[in-house]
Amino acid sequence: MNTVQRLAQALGHRFNHQELLIQALTHRSVGAANNERLEFLGDALIGFVIAEALWKRFPKADEGTLSRMRASLVKRESLARLARDLKLGEALRLGAGELRTGGHARDSILADGLEAVLGAVYFDAGFEQARTVVLTLFAARLEQTDAERAGKDPKTRLQECLQSYKRPLPDYLVLSIDGDQHDQTFTVSCQLQDADVTTRATGTSRRRAEQAAAALMLEHIQYG
């Protein structure tokens, strides 16, 4: 079984039109017949299916809370993590330049590829099957989504998560500050005190960088 067939098996969908899956896995660096149009469709598909699932799951949540929960579930890092779970990177078709620079492991390419693959499922078998595949992929994350926590920032949620396990709070360290005084970029790390795990992120302020690093750490703890 080749990598493309293994991916289809992991998705739980048998493609009637294998060429759709091949196109979905073809990065623009390969040529004009790439996955960008399928990615556009898949992005909209995931957004709607997840929005509908959250709307049904949290009947008392307001629009702002629903939007924050959806954004957390469908952001690039979350999609890339799902793509890695599927080993999607192994099946990607990349140009020589992207191959040399490790494009098969890059979050942006993995996330776009997953969107394209789900767009291909829609064209191959229709909306209901595409919805089923999306909900199956996101099932664990939907189960762990909490409307009460959706309004809290990542640092607060990380703190509460660690405290619930009786673990020490993380350390935040500014690694670098780049740019002019009026246009600075901060790079910050978030490190667990009781494990050799560190995340790092950048932001236009120290606070934003810390929040981004905390969000990455929270995902690591929750989803491994």
Tell me the binding residues: 39, 112, 115
Tell me if residue 98 is catalytic: no
Tell me if residue 43 is catalytic: yes
Q: Bridge-partner residues for 178, per DSSP?
A: 185
**CB 73, CB 141: distance < 8 Å:** yes
Cα separation, 138 vs 115, in Å, equals 13
Number of neighbours of residue 143 by Cβ within 10 angstroms: 8
**CB 58, CB 149: distance < 8 Å:** no
Please, how many CA atoms are within 13 Å of residue 189, restricted to the half-sphere of its CB?
Answer: 10
Catalytic residue chosen out of the listed positions 98, 115, 124, 219: 115
Catalytic residue chosen out of the listed positions 19, 36, 43, 124: 43
What residues are designated binding site for Mg(2+)?
A: 39, 112, 115
Look up residue 93 and give its DSSP letter.
B
Known catalytic residues? 43, 115
